[in-house]
Structure 1
């Protein structure tokens, strides 16, 4: 009597699908913020920041916006992947964590000396990351 072992490729397929969706979420956040920065710059937003108590100003450039968006998007993805391994409530924990990070990300915007347009655009840029990442990173693996 022989025994045949059938290997299922469903988990690997689901993993690949989830990775594609999450990579697309991070890419969408980066692309949206780059487009938003370029449009705001063309409309006259200076993206000039001065730390409290300092006289030197720093002009944010599109590369900084893209890199910061990419880094925080990848951190969000990594946190979700880690939570999925540690708890069965990963999506809920990640959502609470992501909301806390979003709220805390507004603190530096309030502390920096910047024009109203710059503050408004930075706030919008932070919200765009949350909007792009939250629904897609929370997406169940079996969709």
Structure 2
């Protein structure tokens, strides 16, 4: 006969499962938010999300590019938070600061590329939308190292 799990053990496991679920939903939600803005910006409003850089052919940012460019930093951010939670008591503060720095730095490429004004606004909104979904959820689910 198997021993019953202690209430503390089952509470910890359910808390961990809840944190995992919330973070996975945040990642999915951040990608969905970016794609929703792409749908509104490009197909519906007709803003060209064509980015031109000196010496590089123009690149039209389609749905797959938007999905990848929002999924990659979301997963990297999640991984960083998991590492910080294992090694420091200040994971929440360090991660939040890093996330805000990355958000600010994500606007730097706008200085070296050419994109029409409507497209630039849509792209900027995508950056903010991804952060607006991820940062609060990851902050809320962060737990300090024991």
Q: TM-score, normalised by structure 1?
A: 0.90
Deviation at 1:141, TM superposition (A): 5.7
Q: Match of 1:128? A: 129
| Residue correspondence of structure 1 range 46-57 to structure 2 within 5 A | 46-51=48-53, 53-54=54-55, 56-57=57-58
**1:94-129 C-alpha deviation (Å, 9 max, x unpaired):** 000000000000000221111111111111100001
Gaps of 5+ in 1: none
Return 5+ residue gaps in structure 2 as ranges: none
- Asked if the contact 1:14/1:141 (under 8 Å) is kept, the reply is no
Aligned to 1:74: 75
**Aligned residues: CA RMSD:** 1.8
Report the TM-score when normalising by structure 2. 0.88
Count of matched residue positions in the alignment of Structure 1 and Structure 2: 138
